[in-house]
Every structure is written in structure tokens, then in C-alpha cells.
């Protein structure tokens, strides 16, 4: 008991470092993949070898910018919003098992914890939007909140479908429950749940095609317009952390987590999460954005009924088998 | 309040009073990532719905008409490049034609054909950029890169010929400045091939995309009679369903000798305006090919000289540029400077129809509609 | 709708327009000449809306522009409208003379909605008041601008302050 208490701060620091440092390859991958999609090269000079030092250069650039708080802004809320965005996004990493036994904090309710923390990000966006005292941020913030709330439901329904099929909310046990060959949930429940989960991931992190709240061509940077320097980057770091966390959860729920032949489990996990992340980046730079009302219609009229039907189907299936 | 209480009941009346929302006036611009320059749109919003929107101009007014009254024709061509800077050459040509017609100067055939080739190359460059930029208005981050890459090929050709990419300053009264350099003809056909493949790819890339179609179909519908009333011209007018093209209607630059179609849209929404410009790129490629075959040997300028004075008279000459109808009403009293030069630009009339188009749309649609009109602020404000 | 050959149809339409204008205005039609492919009709200022309404009914539905010209020696402004018929490919220019000390002319915004911005621009550049225009305020110029820049007696300050290097090249 005392041993695990002593190890607790160490685990906390390790989880924090993982959450922070995993963003470096994500940022580099984003820059390079998007560049090659757009028929250009991307960063080439920092770090001498194909711009591999670019993420560090970006971090250094942002950390030395002036921290501007608008005079009419609500200063305490304005300053607090980035932290409220960042900490839950990092907190999700605590319960994600990378390999059997290799997890920050083993929990029976890991999936519930993940879903709950993902939703806290909405509060941060509203804080940022209202505290900035600007019409552009207000429009962006309201769009963001509407979108996040609308797409929480398909996310939860997709995850709950898998939890029902596996019979547990613990992420480790869900991976163990995925029968051989790896990651095949009974059709069509698994497929529908996967679809809901993936689409909701885009909407939760406010990435195209669901990036109306941060629509650069209309409302500049949406709720983050008035931020500068590290506070601005905290929002984007929370977005990236969210992407990685949701990709990791998606791998655990659908792709079989760390299961795979020959290679050690950690390597398999990293490969699968990378595949997910590459898919997100790829779709982000290809698709235009949906208008807010089309986005909401898509969620409320299509995805949520589909999710509910799916959950009902799984319940019937479970009772019958 | 008393009547409300009586008719609706206490709870409803209180709820409506406390939950009532108001209109918000949002200033889009003048500094904004997607108003194509310094255009300001003052939008009155009810949540996301636009009640009314009005453009505010003048942030880039440079008093071209007054400046033109103090400049000789050769200096004026350099000035008018800066009107619609995306297609620089297209602004010089109508002015030169106006001076030539008043003076009765006959432009040699070779110069005419060279003007046509450069004009259509500039149109290709402008429309290629539009195709890319319009994706950016809607949030697709990759098309602008492709659009700029395509534009580069046409700009390379312009640079090879005139030394300049945008402000070419090449047309002169009586013809063009110099003959095409060596190797210019050989470089054009492969580039036309490239543009033809790219046009097919543009048609697939965004038009087959469901999200793009949903964002542009039925948005910003411009009926033909409204368009004619406001003087909308160019691809915007043709997308609304009527084929008005100065290239077919005026006898200038010898366009009558070339066979090309004038594509026409049927609904006049943003989608039609986008497809219209893609199809016009195809026709431009056709025209350039025919013009290349048509190039006769001969002089490229009748040699007018610096002390040329435009004879007295008045004339209106228009050309069909990428933005719309680009016309010059020249009133001359025999001096070398024009007495009064009215510059009629396509973008000014196109943007004047915005209050009509932007009623009862959503906030994201403002950007989609602004983008589809394809204006340049220098053209509006002169 | 494909456009037909320009000249022949255009000419018929111009002569038709001229005769219709004569019928409507009679003696008020001060001048009607065909010059360089367009019909230039000179009418008194108060007949401007009627003339343009007639032209619109005749098929000249495209409102191209409206501008002003300053003739200080003759102490008048000219208000020029230019309309076009897409079907017949014919062009008509309508000119009105207004005195320089009291330039007022009725608006045609009820005939062509597009005249709105053109008239605002002409007003702010010349000072010609378009009677009946609902919102005659500055379009291109800033609010603090005084005077009417396009008038011939408004001097370009840049020319006064220092000699213009371009003078050498303009012969």
C-alpha cells in the first residue's frame, strides 16, 4: 500500500510526460503528411534532417510570445480557460493501457472516466468564448458547445456498444475480450459503433470536416481568437492530446489494442494508434467543412438514432446468446 | 406585458421576456482572412442567421479615374494593371483599344493574336487561382495549394514573355510592346495539356464531394433579371443562365475568328458559378490553341510614339475579363491625357448585388457567396 | 441563349430606340446621335427616369454604369448613364446636363436597382444630388473627406507639393 502511494507521483509524472511528448511526433506527422498531400515539402530545415526539429522550434517560438489579455476581457476566466482545456485532455492518458499491465492507473471504470473527461473540454471553450468579450469568439464558442454536446452522444453510444458487447467498462478487459482473429466484434454492431466513434472523434476535437467553430475563413480562430502565446498553444495542445487519446481509445475498443503476432505489444499499440492518427490527419486536410446546421442535423437526425438502434440491437443480441 | 399575461399565461410570458434574443451586428473585415482583401461586410445576425448584410467599400480607393486624367496613354496602361491585379493584362487592353478606335489606328494582326494569347493565359491563371481559393473559403485546406500550383504555370509563361507575373504592362497603343521571345510557342502546348488534365481533375475533386455540393447548391441564387438590373457580368451572369460575353458580341481582338462556346449555368447558385469558371478555363485553352495556329508574321506595333495625342471624341469599349465586364468610357478633347475616363469594372457591379444575395442566409454562407462572386478589391474601389 | 451576330441586330434596335424616344419625349429629346456603335441621347435632367424606364421596357435591361463629367468652362455637369440590351447587343448612353451651381437630377433607382451604388459614387465624387435616392451617403471616400474630388477645380495635392517625375515621360 505504501509502495504504491510512493509510486503515485512517479506514475503521474510519467503519464504527463507521455501525454506531452507524444504530441511531438503528432505535430511533425501533421506538418509532413499535410504538406505532401498539398504537393509541397513541409518543414525541411530545422533539425537538419527534413525538418525534424520543427516541433521543438514551434514550441520555443510560442513560449516566447507576449501574453496578451484584452482590456475588456474577464481576466480570471480568460486566464483559466486554457488550463481547463489542457488538464482533462492530459488526464485521459492516465487510464489508457499501452500493454497488459502498463497503465498509469488500472481502473474498472476506465472507459467511463475517458468519456467523462472528454466532455469537460466543452466548458473550457465556453469560458474562452465568453471571457474574450468579442463577437467572433462568441459565435465560435456557441458553435463549439453545440457541436461538442451534439457529438458526445454518438461517441458515448459507440463506446457503450462495445462495452456492452465486452461486458465491462475496463479498457484492459475490453482488449482481452476481443476474440481471435483480432478485433472482430459481431457484425453489424461493431461496424456501426466504429463509424459513430470515428465521426464523433472529428467533432470532439473540432477538426475538419467538423471545424465550424474554428472556421478560419469566417471567424478567424473561433473561441481562441483573442489568445496569444502559450495560452493559445495550450488549446492546441489539448486538441492534439485529445486526438491521440481518442485514437488510443479507438484502438483499444476496435482494433485490438496491443494484440498482434511477433512484435512486442507496445510496438503494436503504437502502430495501431499511428494508423488511426494518420487517418485523422488525412481526412482533415481533404474535406471541406460542414455548415453548422448541416452538422447538427447529421448528428441528431442520423447518428444518434443509429446509435440508439445499435445499442438496442446489442441488448437483444446479448439476451438471445 | 399585461395583454401577454392575459393571452399567453404567466409562465410563457415570463419565459419569452427573459429568453428573448437580440440582433447582433458583426463586422466581417476589413481585416479578415477571407474577404479577398479589404472589404468590410456589416452583417446583422440573429444567432447564425443573417438578417441583412451590407458591404462597406472604399478601404482601397486610390482615385484611379482622377490619376488617369493626368497621365499619358502609356502611363495609363501601367496604372490600370493595378485595378484587377490578379489578371493584370486584361485591364490594359480595353483602354488601348479605346484610344486606337478614336484615333482610327489599325492594329496589325500579329499584335491582335498576341494580345489574345496573353489575355486568355491571364484568364487561365485567374480562374485556376479561384478554383483553389474557393475550396479554402469552404474549409478544404488542400485545394488552394493545387490552385496556386496551377496558376504558376501560366504565370511562368507571362514572366517569360513580359518579364512580370502580375502587372505585365505589355499592351501599347497600336499593338504590344515586343514580340514573343524565342521558345515561347514551344512552351505553350504542353502547358495547355496540363491545364486540360487539371480541369478534369478539378471537376472531379470538388464537384464529386458531397460536402462541397451541400455547401454550395442552392446557396446565393441570383436570378437573371436581378443580375441584369445590378449590372452583374462575367461568369456570375453567365452562371445565372444568360450568355452575355463581350468576346462574342464586340468585335475586338479578332475573337470572331475563333470557335469557342460560351458555357451557361442554369441556376445561378454558388455551385453553378464555380462550375462556370472551370468550364471557361476549358474554352480559354481552346482559344489559345486556335490563336497559336493563327499567328501571322508581321509587325507587332504600328509605332505610335510617346507624343501620341488621342483625338477628340468619346467611346465606350468593353472586354470580358475574368472578373466580369471591364470597360472604359473615354472622353477625350484632343490632349494626350483623357479628359474624363470612367473605369467600369466587373467587381464593382458584382459586389453591389450582395445585399440582395445575403438576405436570409447563414453566417457561413456569407463567406461561400463572397468567394463565389470572385471579386478583387482593387477592382471594386479603383 | 446564344448571342447572334452583333452589328445588324444592334443597329435595328438602336434606330428603334431612337424613334421610341422621339415619340415619348418629342422636343425634349435634345440630341440623338450614333457614335462608335452606341446611341447617345441627350435629355433634360427631369426626364431622366422616364427615358430609362422606356429603354428598360424596350429590352435594354442591363444597367452598366452611371458617371459624371465636369465641364467647368461651360458651367455644367453631365450625368451619363449607359445601358445595354443583351438580346440585341445594342448600347444606349443617356446624357443629362445639370448646372454646376445647383446640380440636381432625379434618381433612377426605381427603374434599375443597380443604379444605387453608381449614383452614390457620382454624388460623392462630383456633388451631383440625386433627388429621391433613399441613402445618399459616401461609398468609396472616407467620411472625413471634404469637397468633391473629381471636379476639375479640386487639385491633386501630390502635384502641388512636388513636381511629378513622370512629366518627363509624358512627352
Tell me whether residue B30 is in a domain: no
Please count the other Cβ atoms lying within 10 Å of the Cβ belonging to residue B178: 14
Question: In 3-state terms, what secondary structure has residue C144?
Answer: coil
Report which of B22, B1, B226, B33 is spatially closest to residue B144, judged by C-alpha positions.
B33
Are B231 and C114 inside 8 Å of each other by CB? yes
Tell me whether residue B16 is in a domain: no
Q: Over pLDDT 90: what percentage of chain B? A: 24
Give the span between the Cα atoms of C66 and C49, in whole angstroms.
13
Domains held by chain A: number? 1
Domains held by chain B: number? 1
pLDDT tens digits, B288-334: 999 888 888 888 888 777 778 888 888 999 899 899 899 999 998 88
Tell me whether residue B246 is in a domain: yes
Please count the other Cβ atoms lying within 10 Å of the Cβ belonging to residue A321: 6
B83 with B91: CB under 8 angstroms? yes
Are A135 and B26 inside 8 Å of each other by CB? yes
For residue A146 the three cell numbers come to: 453545440
Per-residue H/E/C for chain B: CHHHHHHHCHHHHHHHHHCCCCCEEEEECCCCCCCCCCCEEEEEEECCEEEEEEEECCCCCCCHHHHHCCCCHHHHHHHHCCCCHHHCHHHHHHHHHHHHHHHCCCCCHHHHHHHHHHHHHHHHHHHHHHHHHHHHHHCCCCHHHHHHHHHHHHHHHHHHHHCCCCCCCCEECCEECCCCCCCHHHHHHHHHHHHHHHHHHHHHHCCCCHHHHHHHCCCCCCCHHHHHHHCCCCHHHHHCCCCCCHHHHCCCCCHHHCCCCCCCCCCCCHHHHHHHHHHHHHHHHHHHHHHHHCCCCCCCECCCCCCCCCCCEEEEEEEECCCCEEEEEEEECCCCCCCEEEEECHHHHHHHCHHHHCCCCEHHHHHHHHHHHCCCHHHHHC
- Backbone phi, psi, residue A106, to 5°: -70, 130
Partner B contacted by C166 (CB < 8 A): yes
- If you average pLDDT over residues B50-59, what whole number do you get? 88
Q: Where are the domains of chain C?
A: 6-167
Give the span between the Cα atoms of A36 and B114, in whole angstroms.
38
Contacts of C1 in chain B (CB under 8 A): 241-243, 264
Contacts of B3 (CB under 8 A, 6+ apart): none
pLDDT tens digits, A117-138: 888 888 898 888 888 888 778 8
Report which of A308, A180, A164, A175 is spatially closest to residue A250, judged by C-alpha positions.
A175
A135 Cα distance to chain centroid: 27
Tell me whether residue B86 is in a domain: yes
CATH 3.40.50.2300 for the C6-167 domain, yes or no:
no
Question: In 3-state terms, what secondary structure has residue A258?
Answer: coil
Contacts of C40 in chain B (CB under 8 A): 314
The minimal CB distance from B243 to the residues C1, C61, C69 is found for: C1
| pLDDT > 50? residue C6 | no
Residue B13 CB burial class (10 angstroms; 0-12, 13-18, ≥19)? middle
Mean pLDDT of chain A: 85
| pLDDT > 50? residue C5 | no
For residue B358 the three cell numbers come to: 445575403
- If you average pLDDT over residues C42-51, what whole number do you get? 88
Contacts of A213 (CB under 8 A, 6+ apart): A125, A140, A141, A143, A144, A147, A206, A219, A222, A223
Confidence of residue B126 (pLDDT cuts 50, 70, 90): very high
Tell me whether residue A11 is in a domain: no
Question: In 3-state terms, what secondary structure has residue A100?
Answer: coil
Tell me whether residue B33 is in a domain: no
| pLDDT > 80? residue B8 | no
A37 with B143: CB under 8 angstroms? no
What local confidence, expressed as pLDDT, does residue B26 receive?
Answer: 83
- Backbone phi, psi, residue C92, to 5°: -130, 135
Question: Please, which residues 100-129 of chain B have a Cβ atom closer than 8 Å to chain C?
Answer: 101-102
For residue A251 the three cell numbers come to: 484502438
A299 with A150: CB under 8 angstroms? yes
Are B26 and A208 inside 8 Å of each other by CB? no
| pLDDT > 50? residue B261 | yes
Tell me whether residue A271 is in a domain: yes
What local confidence, expressed as pLDDT, does residue A70 receive?
Answer: 85
Chains that touch C (3 or more CB pairs under 8 A): B
Q: Which of A291, A293, A294, A296 has the most B C-beta neighbours within 10 Å, making it the best mutation to test the interface with B? A: A291
The residue assigned the cell 512552351 is: B187
What local confidence, expressed as pLDDT, does residue A179 receive?
Answer: 61
Beta-carbon-side half-sphere exposure of residue A238 (alpha carbons within 13 Å): 26
Are A139 and B211 inside 8 Å of each other by CB? no
For residue A182 the three cell numbers come to: 483480432
Question: Please, which residues 61-100 of chain C have a Cβ atom closer than 8 Å to chain B?
Answer: 61-65, 67, 69-70, 80, 82, 86, 89, 91, 93
Q: Could you tell me the residue range of the domain that residue B282 belongs to?
A: 63-381
Q: B173 or B303: whose pLDDT is higher?
A: B173
Residues in chain A where the model's pLDDT stays below 50: 182-183
Give the span between the Cα atoms of A121 and A61, in whole angstroms.
25
Give the span between the Cα atoms of A273 and A279, in whole angstroms.
10
Contacts of B26 in chain A (CB under 8 A): 135-136, 139
pLDDT tens digits, B328-357: 999 988 888 889 999 999 999 999 999 999
Chains that touch B (3 or more CB pairs under 8 A): A, C
Mean pLDDT of chain B: 86
Question: Please, which residues 206-245 of chain B have a Cβ atom closer than 8 Å to chain C?
Answer: 225-226, 228-231, 233, 241-245
Give the Cα-Cα-Cα angle B156, B184, B322 (nearest 5 degrees).
50
B298 Cα distance to chain centroid: 32
Confidence of residue C82 (pLDDT cuts 50, 70, 90): very high
What local confidence, expressed as pLDDT, does residue C119 receive?
Answer: 92
Q: Rounded to the nearest 10 degrees, how much is the dihedral formed by the CA atoms of B19, B25, B27, B33?
A: 30
CATH number of the domain residue B142 falls in? 1.10.645.10
What local confidence, expressed as pLDDT, does residue C169 receive?
Answer: 57
Q: Could you tell me the residue range of the domain that residue A218 belongs to?
A: 66-320
Give the span between the Cα atoms of C25 and C44, in whole angstroms.
10
Are B138 and A288 inside 8 Å of each other by CB? yes
Tell me whether residue B165 is in a domain: yes
Nearest chain A CA: its distance from B48 CA (Å): 8
pLDDT tens digits, B95-120: 999 888 888 888 888 888 999 999 99
Confidence of residue B27 (pLDDT cuts 50, 70, 90): confident
- If you average pLDDT over residues B15-37, what whole number do you get? 75
Tell me whether residue A40 is in a domain: no
Nearest chain C CA: its distance from B165 CA (Å): 24
Tell me whether residue A9 is in a domain: no
- Backbone phi, psi, residue B320, to 5°: -100, 100
The residue assigned the cell 514580340 is: B179
Give the span between the Cα atoms of B99 and B304, in whole angstroms.
11
Q: Residue C145, preceding bond cis, omega within 30 degrees?
A: no
Q: Which of C67, C83, C149 has the most B C-beta neighbours within 10 Å, making it the best mutation to test the interface with B? A: C67
Are B211 and A290 inside 8 Å of each other by CB? yes
Task: State the sign of the Cα–Cα–Cα–Cα dihedral B231, B233, B239, B241.
Answer: positive
| Category of B268 on φ-ψ map: left (φ > 0), alpha (ψ -120 to 50) or beta | left
Contacts of B339 in chain C (CB under 8 A): 69
Strand (E) positions, C36-75?
38-43, 62-71
Are C171 and B306 inside 8 Å of each other by CB? yes
pLDDT tens digits, A181-238: 544 567 778 888 888 999 999 988 888 888 877 765 566 677 888 888 888 889 889 9
Chains that touch A (3 or more CB pairs under 8 A): B
Give the span between the Cα atoms of A146 and C113, in whole angstroms.
40
In eight-state DSSP terms, residue C145 is -
| pLDDT > 60? residue B3 | no
Contacts of A284 in chain B (CB under 8 A): 141
Q: Which of B42, B55, B173, B229 has the most C C-beta neighbours within 10 Å, making it the best mutation to test the interface with C? A: B229
- Do B and C touch, 3+ Cβ pairs within 8 Å? The answer is yes
C88 with C77: CB under 8 angstroms? no
| pLDDT > 50? residue C4 | no
Report which of A184, A188, A195 is spatially closest to residue A302, judged by C-alpha positions.
A195
pLDDT tens digits, B271-293: 999 999 999 999 999 999 998 88
In eight-state DSSP terms, residue A253 is I
Partner B contacted by A281 (CB < 8 A): no
Amino acid at each position: 500500500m505504501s509502495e504504491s502511494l510512493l509510486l503515485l507521483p512517479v506514475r503521474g509524472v510519467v503519464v504527463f510526460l507521455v501525454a506531452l511528448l507524444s504530441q511531438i511526433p503528432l505535430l511533425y506527422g501533421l506538418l509532413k503528411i499535410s504538406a505532401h498531400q498539398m504537393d509541397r515539402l513541409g518543414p525541411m530545415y530545422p533539425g537538419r534532417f527534413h525538418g525534424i526539429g520543427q516541433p521543438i522550434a514551434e514550441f520555443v517560438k510560442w513560449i516566447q510570445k507576449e501574453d496578451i489579455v484584452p482590456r475588456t476581457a474577464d481576466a480570471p476566466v480568460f486566464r483559466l480557460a486554457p488550463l481547463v482545456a489542457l488538464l482533462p485532455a492530459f488526464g485521459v492518458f492516465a487510464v489508457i493501457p499501452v500493454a497488459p499491465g502498463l497503465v498509469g492507473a488500472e481502473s474498472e471504470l476506465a472507459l467511463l472516466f475517458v468519456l467523462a473527461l472528454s466532455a469537460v473540454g466543452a466548458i473550457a471553450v465556453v469560458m474562452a468564448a465568453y471571457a474574450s468579450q468579442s463577437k467572433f469568439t462568441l459565435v465560435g464558442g456557441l458553435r463549439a458547445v453545440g457541436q461538442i454536446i451534439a457529438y458526445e452522444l454518438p461517441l458515448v453510444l459507440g463506446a457503450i456498444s462495445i462495452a456492452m458487447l465486452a461486458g465491462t467498462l475496463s479498457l484492459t478487459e475490453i482488449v482481452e475480450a476481443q476474440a481471435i482473429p483480432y478485433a472482430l466484434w459481431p457484425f453489424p454492431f461493431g461496424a456501426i459503433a466504429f463509424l459513430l466513434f470515428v465521426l464523433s472523434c472529428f467533432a470532439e476535437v473540432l477538426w475538419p470536416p467538423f471545424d465550424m467553430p474554428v472556421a478560419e475563413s469566417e471567424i478567424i480562430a473561433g473561441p481562441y481568437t483573442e489568445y496569444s502565446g502559450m495560452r493559445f498553444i495550450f488549446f492546441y495542445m489539448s486538441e492534439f492530446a485529445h486526438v491521440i487519446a481518442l485514437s488510443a481509445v479507438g484502438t483499444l475498443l476496435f482494433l485490438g489494442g496491443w494484440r498482434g503476432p511477433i512484435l512486442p505489444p507496445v510496438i503494436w499499440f503504437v502502430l495501431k494508434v499511428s494508423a488511426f492518427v494518420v487517418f485523422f490527419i488525412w481526412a482533415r486536410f481533404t474535406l471541406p467543412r460542414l455548415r453548422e446546421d448541416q452538422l447538427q442535423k447529421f448528428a441528431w437526425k442520423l447518428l444518434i438514432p443509429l446509435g440508439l438502434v445499435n445499442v438496442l440491437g446489442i441488448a437483444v443480441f446479448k439476451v438471445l446468446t | 406585458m399585461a395583454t401577454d399575461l392575459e393571452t399567453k399565461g404567466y409562465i410563457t410570458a415570463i419565459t419569452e421576456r427573459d429568453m428573448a434574443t437580440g440582433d447582433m451586428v458583426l463586422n466581417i473585415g476589413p481585416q479578415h482572412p477571407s474577404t479577398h482583401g479589404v472589404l468590410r461586410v456589416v452583417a446583422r445576425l440573429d444567432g447564425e442567421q443573417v438578417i441583412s448584410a451590407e458591404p462597406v467599400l472604399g478601404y482601397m480607393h486610390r482615385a484611379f479615374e482622377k490619376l488617369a486624367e493626368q497621365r499619358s496613354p502609356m502611363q495609363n496602361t501601367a496604372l490600370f494593371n493595378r485595378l484587377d491585379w490578379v489578371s493584370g493584362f486584361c485591364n490594359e487592353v480595353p483602354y488601348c483599344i479605346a484610344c486606337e478606335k478614336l484615333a482610327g489606328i489599325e492594329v496589325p494582326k500579329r499584335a491582335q493574336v498576341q494580345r489574345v494569347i496573353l489575355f486568355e493565359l491571364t484568364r487561365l491563371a485567374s480562374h485556376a487561382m479561384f478554383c483553389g481559393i474557393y475550396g479554402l473559403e469552404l474549409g478544404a485546406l488542400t485545394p488552394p495549394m493545387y490552385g496556386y500550383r496551377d496558376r504558376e504555370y501560366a504565370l511562368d509563361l507571362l514572366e517569360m514573355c513580359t518579364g512580370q507575373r502580375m502587372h505585365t504592362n505589355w499592351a501599347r497603343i497600336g499593338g504590344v510592346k515586343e514580340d514573343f521571345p524565342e521558345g515561347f510557342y514551344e512552351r505553350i502546348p504542353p502547358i495547355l495539356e496540363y491545364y486540360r488534365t487539371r480541369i478534369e481533375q478539378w471537376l472531379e475533386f470538388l464537384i464529386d464531394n458531397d460536402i462541397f455540393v451541400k455547401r454550395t447548391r442552392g446557396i446565393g441564387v441570383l436570378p437573371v433579371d436581378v443580375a441584369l438590373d445590378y449590372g452583374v457580368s462575367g461568369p456570375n451572369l453567365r452562371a445565372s443562365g444568360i450568355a452575355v460575353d463581350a468576346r462574342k458580341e464586340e468585335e475586338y481582338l479578332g475573337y470572331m475568328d475563333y470557335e469557342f462556346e460560351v458555357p451557361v449555368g442554369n441556376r445561378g447558385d454558388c455551385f453553378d458559378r464555380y462550375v462556370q469558371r472551370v468550364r471557361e478555363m476549358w474554352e480559354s485553352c481552346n482559344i489559345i490553341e486556335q490563336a497559336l495556329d493563327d499567328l501571322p508574321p508581321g509587325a507587332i506595333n504600328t509605332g505610335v510614339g510617346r507624343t501620341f495625342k488621342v483625338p477628340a471624341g468619346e467611346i465606350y469599349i468593353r472586354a470580358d475579363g475574368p472578373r466580369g465586364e471591364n470597360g472604359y468610357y473615354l472622353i477625350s478633347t484632343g490632349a494626350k491625357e483623357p479628359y474624363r475616363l470612367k473605369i467600369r469594372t466587373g467587381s464593382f457591379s458584382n459586389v453591389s448585388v450582395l445585399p440582395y444575395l445575403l438576405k436570409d442566409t447563414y453566417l457561413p454562407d456569407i463567406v461561400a457567396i463572397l468567394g463565389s462572386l470572385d471579386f478583387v478589391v482593387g477592382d471594386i474601389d479603383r | 441563349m446564344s448571342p447572334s451576330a452583333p452589328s445588324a441586330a444592334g443597329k435595328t434596335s438602336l434606330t428603334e430606340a431612337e424613334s421610341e424616344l422621339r415619340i415619348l419625349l418629342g422636343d425634349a429629346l435634345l440630341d440623338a446621335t450614333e457614335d462608335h456603335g452606341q446611341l447617345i441621347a441627350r435629355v433634360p435632367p427631369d426626364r431622366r427616369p422616364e427615358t430609362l424606364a422606356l429603354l428598360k421596357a424596350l429590352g435594354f435591361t442591363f444597367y452598366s454604369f452611371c458617371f459624371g463629367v465636369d465641364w467647368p468652362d461651360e458651367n455644367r455637369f453631365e450625368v451619363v448613364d449607359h445601358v445595354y440590351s443583351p438580346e440585341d447587343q445594342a448600347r444606349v448612353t443617356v446624357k443629362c446636363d445639370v448646372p454646376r451651381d445647383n446640380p440636381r437630377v432625379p434618381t433612377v433607382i426605381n427603374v434599375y436597382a443597380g443604379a444605387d451604388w453608381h449614383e452614390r459614387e457620382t454624388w460623392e465624387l462630383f456633388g451631383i444630388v440625386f433627388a429621391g435616392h433613399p441613402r445618399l451617403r459616401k461609398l468609396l471616400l472616407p467620411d472625413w473627406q471634404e469637397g468633391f474630388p473629381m471636379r476639375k477645380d479640386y487639385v491633386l495635392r501630390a502635384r502641388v507639393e512636388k513636381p511629378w517625375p513622370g512629366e518627363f515621360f509624358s512627352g
